[in-house]
Structure 1
């Protein structure tokens, strides 16, 4: 199974290693080949998105394409997760081998469950945002919370999306974030279901 995953930028690429480790432990011999394709900005829209998806499926021999977008893009692109997924499906004419998913409201929501690790790395005891990670919203998205604790801490360095994102995930169990974040769970389960439906996380 060969799967292309369209992602916005470097932060999501930092997530790739952790995701592959988790999937390997669950899928074993049925582990797919994952290719993260960075857009270096928001996921492409409309005809541009359709073109890249069709090219990957028809010309590059991918069995499936997954698009992963933030709901918070800095622009009023999407009202919520459902709006984002509906638009991305429509732009690609509901191609059956294409699956859009979202990070609510940005990728860092999936790092918030590891707040104790974030405190340790930032060298600050600031409290985590209240509520479940994926409810931290447009007004102050998850990445802002992490940037603020790093800038307030005594480490003396600002938050680096790639380096610190990898450090936060490194010694933590991805299942913690999967259980805390329904959109992450749906994304991971999609990959698993394409390879072995019996291994889906309940």
Structure 2
């Protein structure tokens, strides 16, 4: 994810030069580097980098995108051909010592599917036949992200 002046420049270019009405930024808390302490820290840093811009909306996947896949444990188990249980607790609070993506990689690595987890193709396969509302209800940051998109399009359809 672009940081500091680069993020500000990208946001300003979209809003000033490209005619967009809003910019929604989405990043993981766990980026592979210790950029952010938690979701609130990440949002604050992005707001600071961009400056006071009412058309900029930072959103975070805590700790990584795969947190939003954890509510679909049975689908993950079927794809990996393994019955490893999901981490306990809320999907978005899974520990940084073993982020959600690591948990999903482990179940694929040890499962009978005999292949590594692929973020893009397996992410699509996990979500394909599942109701997104399951993850939205389990993951407050995902709910906030989806509601931001909806609010910019039609405020009457915000998910409560």
TM-score of the alignment, normalized to the shorter chain, above 0.5: yes
Q: Is 1:174 matched with 2:129? A: no
C-alpha distance after superposition, 1:75-114 (max 9, x if no partner): 1110111000000001000211010000000000000000
8 A Cα contact 1:104 1:137, kept in partner: no
Q: Which has the higher contact order (CA 8 A, sep 6+)?
A: 1
What is the number of equivalent residue pairs in this alignment? 160
Counterpart CA distance in 2 for 1:61 and 1:149 is 44
Q: Is 1:197 matched with 2:159? A: no
Partner of residue 79, structure 2:
121
Q: Is 1:156 matched with 2:114? A: yes
C-alpha distance after superposition, 1:151-179 (max 9, x if no partner): 00001111011111100000000000000
Q: Is 1:140 matched with 2:140? A: no
Counterpart CA distance in 2 for 1:120 and 1:63 is 41
Q: Secondary structure at the match of 1:178?
A: helix
Find the partner of 2:24 among 66, 77, 92. 66
Alignment root-mean-square deviation, CA: 0.6
Find the partner of 1:51 among 6, 9, 12. 9
Runs of 4+ in 1 over 6 A off after TM superposition: none
Point out the structure with the larger strand share.
Answer: 1
Counterpart CA distance in 2 for 1:70 and 1:137 is 14
Segments of 5+ residues of structure 1 without an aligned counterpart are 1-42
Partner of residue 89, structure 2:
131
* TM-score, normalised via structure 1 length: 0.78
Q: Is 1:105 matched with 2:75? A: no
Counterpart CA distance in 2 for 1:88 and 1:188 is 19
Deviation at 1:137, TM superposition (A): 2.2
